[in-house]
A and B are shown apart, each in its own frame.
Chain A
Amino acid sequence: MTTHDREFRAAGVTVGELAPRLRFSLRLRPDNLPQARLALGLDLPEKIGGLVTAGQRRALCLGPDEWMLDCAEGDRPALPAGLPHALVEVTDREVTWRISGPRAAELLSIGIARDLAALSPGKGCRTAFGSVQAVLLREGEDSFTLSVWRSFASHVAGLLAIGQRELACGL
């Protein structure tokens, strides 16, 4: 793998698999947002694509009633039993890569049809990478994280490796 690493650095972009983080899927009616915000200590964003961090907890709004929560190890968010909601742990569902470097957006554009320039740092979205559903977060100008369901991981990793090789060759 070392030769690959060197090759990939030459491509102006590095791809690394991240250690799994505790991740939850939260479904909730927007009317119940104020109560949920209070219980979680997180100002859950209402706008789709919005990302909010409070301490070790982070929430990304994926849909009008859907959020993805990332938490630190051992931190288990809970909502009051009387509040209608679904909060499910999905830590093992996805594989997450960090894709960073000056050509990170270019590498992602091999699989994502969306205009990545329109995704500003500190925002995220659910989209498709190489026809696989993926959650993309723009952590910084040149840094992204991409999560796909585990069963598609080898397909996506293969596409990323091909893309890196293409960039390294100057294609």
Chain B
Amino acid sequence: MLLIHCPYCEETLPEAEFAYAGEAHIARPADPMALSDEEWRDFLFIRSNPRGTHFERWRHLHGCGRFFNAVRDTVTDKFQMTYKAGLPRPDLSAMKEAAE
């Protein structure tokens, strides 16, 4: 079972308490009426689906109930970090350098 660090509870807890909630940092268009059909389709359905580092949303459903963001490697399934919702996308190269 995966262990996930909840940035609100500040604890590392089993995956069974969490729910996956799709890719992170996808902002709803401010004016949907101004979008073409293709742009609207891209917003709704087109996701990056990377092999490697993925920014994604999780919700601590059976816990504090909060949505937060996580950085997970889709190859190794390892969580690199989690951070509170609303924070900007973390700079991964700076993180790697700090770790080395």
List residues of chain B with CB under 8 Å of any chain A CB.
1, 8-11, 13-17, 61-66
CA distance A103 to B88 in the complex (A): 45
CA distance A99 to B70 in the complex (A): 35
| Contact call B9/A49, Cβ cutoff below 8 A | yes
Chain A nearest CB from B13 CB (Å) reads 6
Q: Which of A113, A126, A127 contacts B1 (CB 8 A)?
A: A113
List residues of chain A with CB under 8 Å of any chain B CB.
48-49, 62-64, 66, 113-114, 118, 125-128, 131, 133-134
Identify 15 new A-B residue pairs, CB closer than 8 A, beyond the known A48-B8, A113-B17: A48-B63, A48-B64, A62-B64, A62-B65, A63-B8, A63-B63, A118-B11, A125-B63, A126-B62, A126-B63, A126-B65, A127-B63, A128-B62, A133-B61, A133-B62
| Contact call A114/B13, Cβ cutoff below 8 A | yes
Given A63-B64, A63-B66, A64-B64: A128 in contact with B8 (beta carbons within 8 A): no
| Contact call A114/B8, Cβ cutoff below 8 A | no
A selection of 15 A-B contacts at a CB cut-off of 8 Å is A48-B9, A49-B11, A63-B8, A63-B64, A64-B8, A64-B64, A113-B14, A125-B9, A125-B63, A126-B62, A127-B17, A127-B62, A128-B16, A131-B16, A134-B62
Residues of B within 8 A of A66 (CB): 64-65
Chain A nearest CB from B4 CB (Å) reads 11
CA distance A128 to B14 in the complex (A): 10
Residue of B nearest to A134 (CB): B62
| Contact call A64/B66, Cβ cutoff below 8 A | yes
Residue of B nearest to A131 (CB): B16
Residues of A within 8 A of B64 (CB): 48, 62-64, 66, 126
Residue of B nearest to A125 (CB): B63
